[in-house]
Each structure stands twice: as structure tokens, then as C-alpha cells.
Amino acid sequence: MPDKNQTDSHAESPRPSPLHATHEKLGATFTDFAGWQMPVRYSSDLAEHKAVRASAGIFDISHMAEFTVTGTEAGEFLDVALAGRLSALKVGRAKYSLLLTETGGVIDDVIVYRLRDDEYLIISNAANRDAARSALQDRTQEFDVGVSDVSDDYALIAVQGPHAEKILSSTSGITDLTTPWDEQRYFAWASASFDGAPLLLARTGYTGEDGFELLVPAARATALWAAVSTAGDPYELVPAGLAARDSLRLEAGMPLYGHELSRDTKPAQAGLGRVVVTAKERFVGQRHVEPAADARVLVGLTSEGRRAGRAGYPVIAGDSEVGTVTSGILSPTLGHPIAMAFVDPTHSDPGTELDIDVRGKRIPATVTTLPFYSRKK
């Protein structure tokens, strides 16, 4: 599922998650994230990251925004409003898509779920809640649809890792599941109940691991977190914060809005050209969605040693700056530095040797295909 690192205009001071009291009891360290006071870590970034790769982690992602699109022309509307062909999406399935500007840049990356023939759910990034809502509502004028912002009604909890399915299938209180656990496919969803409240379970995530995202009424979030945590004890489930979520998504080569995506970025530059269905009759941004031939493109960079390139660090070839790092870390899983960067297309081929300027010291780096890490199936 997509994420953010910008400030939401919704609140002058950080707003608490429905799970804030739970995080305090767990000893979380908090940060202002997209206008929310969210847990950045509970123990250590490294321990939480490794737990998700080896067993499972539970994340509070209630800062994400949710919109419903309803009406007889909901599918046709989304075909125009978004870059993908959402009218072809089957009920019970989900699809990653992009909300574009008129000039083909990215307002937000979203996941769309088809709930019924005439109803869709869109999960958007927290910092773009206002922008996404405004863009969607502005595009409804020709269609028999309504767009509703239901973000404040729900909490969103992610359970990610190789033991996620085992944990959730043994969680007390989850009943009335419409699809058996072992039949739930990636980028699909099932409905269920939790202690009598509606629950949507989506096999999606932002970590590169198997896992689920659980949408539940905000008033039931604390009880659901507790039930999942209890079921996860035998599987070494750990609470994980935003720092681990960021390092996990970077290893998996997943873009972060404000780093790899922006209004100045065309989808194809970020390796997301496949998301755009150019064969559609029309969609917002269609006329300008193709980048210029010399536009920088997103690549992976790997290095040796311990010093990692960070966002904003220059990428060098010879005596010339040919790119900029957008995200970088010392990979906890791989044990060496990794980064994503936009570079000139003439220096984007896998195997190309470049340098990253890390605080005045040139660190050799090699262009590689993304992702850096793929889980074993």
C-alpha cells in the first residue's frame, strides 16, 4: 500500500491515531508524520525490520486516507480520473493506480478496491488527503457518482511478514470471512466481522512481504490490535514503526511520494509506465503523460561498505552530476548500502558504475534493477 512524509493541512498540530494509547503503553517513540502523531519505533529500527522479514510485524497505518466512490458510472469515472482501467476491475480485487495532474505529473499513488459493481474504495496517502479528495471531486462533474471522504471513520492496521496469514487466521473475534484464508490472493480483499463490526481484509502491503491490511471502524481498532497481538505471540509478532516500514519498502523498491513521486514526475520516469493505460479513450493527464527523451529515470544503486547515500545526495559520473538520490539506507537485510535515484538516461543501464557524493566523499555505486529484495515464494 502507498505512504507519505509530508505535512497534512488537516491539522495545525499532530493528531493522534485511534491507537495512540496502545502505542504509549508499548513505549513507542513518536514523530509528526503527515500531520499525525505516529510511532516511528518501539524498540529499534533494525530489530523491527528484521522481525518483519523473519516472522511478522504489526503496523498502525491509520494516517492513510480513505475515499468511497459510488454511483452507476463509478467505473467509467475512475477510468477518466485515474491512470488505470478501473472499470475492468472485478469485485473482490484491488489495483494500484495513479492520480495525475493535467500535465501528467503524479498527485498521488493509490490503491483502488472494487467493493460492488457501483462502489469502489480508494486508499490514498495521508499528506495528499486534501489534494486527492479535491482532484477526485473536481472530476465527477460529467458522471453520476459521489466521492466521500471516510478517513475519519476508520483505522487501518497492517500485519506483514511470512507468518501474517497464520496469525490472522488464529485471531480471536474475526468471523464471517467471505474467502478462506488460503484462497485469498495478492491484491484481493475479503469481508469479515470483528466482534460484530465490519472488517475489510486486503492482501496488500508496503514491505515486500506477504501480509494483510485491515480496515476496521476506528472505535474497534484497539480491540483488534490486542487480539492480533495475542494471536501473534507464538509467532514472535512485534509492533513496528514508520522507520522499519520505510526501510522495508525501500528494499522492496517501492516508491514513496515526496521522494520518488511528485507532481514533477511522470509515471514512466519512476518505472510506473505500466500503470498508465494509454489505450483508454481519455484520462486526466493523457496529453502530457510521456516524459521528455532526456528526462531522468529512477534506478537502483548498490554500494559496498557502510556509508549510504541519502535523499538529495548528488550522483556523479566523472566530473559531472548526472542524478540525485531520492531514498537510501544501509540495508538491514542485504548488509550493504542501497539507494534509489533519478539519473540521466545515458547512465541508467544496469551495471553502470557511478559515484554518490556522501558529504564530500565519493562512494562508488553500481546501477541495478529494482527491487533490491524479493521474498521467497
Shared domain for 162 and 274, answered yes or no, is yes
User: Could you list the pLDDT tens digit for every one of the 377 residues in the chain?
Assistant: 444 444 334 446 899 999 999 999 999 999 999 999 999 999 999 999 999 999 999 999 999 999 999 999 999 999 999 999 999 999 999 999 999 999 999 999 999 999 999 999 999 999 999 999 999 999 999 999 999 999 999 999 999 999 999 999 999 999 999 999 989 999 999 999 999 999 999 999 999 999 999 999 999 999 999 999 999 999 999 999 999 999 999 999 999 999 999 999 999 999 999 999 999 999 999 999 999 999 999 999 999 999 999 999 999 999 999 999 999 999 999 999 999 999 999 999 999 999 999 999 999 999 999 999 999 76
Domain termination site, one of 291, 313, 334: 291
DSSP structure string for 304-373:
SSS----TT-EEEETTEEEEEEEEEEE-TTTSSEEEEEEE-GGG-STT-EEEEEETTEEEEEEEEPSPS-
DSSP structure string for 157-203:
EEEESTTHHHHHHT-TTEE--SS-GGGPPTTBEEEEEETTEEEEEE-
185: cell is 490472493
pLDDT value at residue 2? 46
DSSP designation for 268: G
Q: What is the rounded CA–CA span in Å between residue 40 and residue 26?
A: 12
Shared domain for 324 and 238, answered yes or no, is no
Shared domain for 300 and 169, answered yes or no, is no
Domain termination site, one of 238, 264, 291: 291
Residue 357 and residue 313 in contact, taking contact as beta carbons nearer than 8 Å: yes
Shared domain for 348 and 249, answered yes or no, is no
CATH number at residue 284: 3.30.1360.120
Shared domain for 264 and 344, answered yes or no, is no
pLDDT value at residue 377? 65
Q: Is 186 exposed, middle or buried (0-12, 13-18, 19+ CB in 10 A)?
A: exposed
Phi and psi, residue 247, nearest 5°: -70, -35
Q: What is the rounded CA–CA span in Å between residue 195 and residue 228?
A: 13
How close are the terminal C-alpha atoms of the chain, in Å? 19
Looking at the 3D structure of the chain, how many domains does it have? Answer: 2
Residue 67 and residue 251 in contact, taking contact as beta carbons nearer than 8 Å: no
Residue 340 and residue 355 in contact, taking contact as beta carbons nearer than 8 Å: no
Shared domain for 179 and 328, answered yes or no, is no
Shared domain for 241 and 372, answered yes or no, is no
Shared domain for 222 and 303, answered yes or no, is no
Domain hosting residue 30, numbered range: 1-291
Shared domain for 170 and 217, answered yes or no, is yes
CATH number at residue 376: 2.40.30.110
Helix axes 242-251, 45-54, angle to 10 degrees: 50
Domain termination site, one of 291, 319, 347: 291
pLDDT, tens only, 259-317: 999 999 999 999 999 999 999 999 999 999 999 999 999 999 999 999 999 999 999 99
**Under 8 Å CB-to-CB from 298, ≥6 apart: which residues?**
255, 260, 269, 270, 271, 326, 340, 341, 342, 370
pLDDT value at residue 341? 98
Shared domain for 318 and 300, answered yes or no, is yes
**Under 8 Å CB-to-CB from 213, ≥6 apart: which residues?**
1, 61, 156, 157, 158, 201, 202, 204, 205
Shared domain for 240 and 100, answered yes or no, is yes
pLDDT value at residue 376? 78
Q: What is the rounded CA–CA span in Å between residue 284 and residue 289?
A: 9
Degrees to nearest 5, angle at CA 283 with 281 and 287 = 90
Residue 109 and residue 255 in contact, taking contact as beta carbons nearer than 8 Å: yes
Shared domain for 224 and 156, answered yes or no, is yes
